Amino acid sequence: MKTSGDPITRLDGPAKTTGAARYAGDQALPGQLHAVLVPSTIPAGRVTGIDARAALATPGVVRVLTASDMTRVHPDLDKITCPPLATRFLPMQGDQVLYEGQPVAIVLAERLEPAEAAAAAIRVCYQRDAFTPPETAPAEPPDPAKGDYSKSSAVTFQKGDAAAAIAAAPVRLAARYTQPSRHANPMEPSAILAAWEGDRLTVYDAVQHLPAVQGALAAVFGLGADKVRVVSPHTGGGFGAKAFIWPHEILTAMAARVVGRPVKLALSRQHMHAMVGPQPQMTHDLELGARPDGRLAGLTHATANITSVTDDYVEFGAIPSRAFYACDNITTDHRVRRGHVTLPTFMRSPWDGPGSWALGSAMDELARRLGVDPLDLRLANHADTDPESGQPWSSKKLREAYEEGARRFGWRERPRGGTRDGHWRIGCGMADCSQGQARFHSTARVRLAAEGAAVVESSFCDIGTGPATVFAQVAAEALGLDPRQVTVRSGDTDLPYSGPTYGSGTTLSTGAAVQRAAERVRGRLAALAGWAPEETTMREGRITRANESRTIQEVLGAAGLPELSSDGAFDLPGGAPVDMGEAGAPARTFGAIFVEVGVDPELGLLRLRRAVGAYSAGRILNPRTARSQMIGGIIWGWGMAAMEASHYEPKLGRWLSKDLAGVAIPVNADIPPEIEVAFVEEFDARSGPLGAKGIGELGATGVAAAVANAVYDAIGIRVRDLPITPDKLLAA
3 state SS of 235:
coil
**Per DSSP, what are the bridge partners of residue 612?**
594, 676
**Are residues 547 and 510 in contact, defined by beta-carbon separation less than 8 angstroms?**
no
Classify residue 428 as left (phi > 0), alpha (psi -120 to 50) or beta. beta
What is the crossing angle of helices 352-370 and 703-715, to 10°?
A: 30
Q: Whole-angstrom Cα distance, residue 728 to residue 641?
A: 12
Q: Whole-angstrom Cα distance, residue 406 to residue 600?
A: 26
Among residues 596, 644, 676, 697, the one annotated as catalytic is 697
DSSP string, 597-641: EEEETTTTEEEEEEEEEEEE-B--S-HHHHHHHHHHHHHHHHHHH
Query: Is the Cα torsion angle 405, 409, 410, 415 positive or negative in sign?
Result: negative
**Are residues 610 and 675 in contact, defined by beta-carbon separation less than 8 angstroms?**
yes
- Give the strand pairing for 654-655 and 648-649: antiparallel
Rounded to the nearest 10°, the torsion over CA 102, 103, 104, 109 is: 160
Output phi, psi for 77, to 5 deg. -65, -25
Q: How far is CA 668 from CA 595, 621, 632, 639, 672, in A?
A: 18, 28, 12, 12, 8
Closest CA to 514 of 465, 553, 463, 567: 567
Q: Whole-angstrom Cα distance, residue 697 to residue 239?
A: 9
**Per DSSP, what are the bridge partners of residue 447?**
455, 565
Q: Whole-angstrom Cα distance, residue 238 to residue 675?
A: 23
DSSP string, 129-165: -----GGGSPPB---GGG-TT--HHHHEEEES-HHHH
Residues contacting residue 676 through CB under 8 Å, at least 6 positions apart: 408, 409, 610, 611, 612, 613
Classify residue 341 as left (phi > 0), alpha (psi -120 to 50) or beta. beta
Closest CA to 456 of 543, 508, 517, 505: 517
Q: How far is CA 488 from CA 319, 437, 461, in A?
A: 36, 25, 11
**Are residues 89 and 103 in contact, defined by beta-carbon separation less than 8 angstroms?**
no
Judge whether 697 counts as a catalytic residue.
yes
Q: Whole-angstrom Cα distance, residue 242 to residue 306?
A: 20
DSSP string, 529-571: HT--GGG-EEETTEEEETTEEEEHHHHHHHHT-SEEEEEEEE-
Q: Whole-angstrom Cα distance, residue 637 to residue 651?
A: 30
Q: Whole-angstrom Cα distance, residue 316 to residue 323?
A: 12
Structure letter (DSSP) for residue 7 = -
Q: Whole-angstrom Cα distance, residue 599 to residue 399?
A: 30
**Are residues 590 and 433 in contact, defined by beta-carbon separation less than 8 angstroms?**
yes
- Annotated catalytic sites, by residue? 697
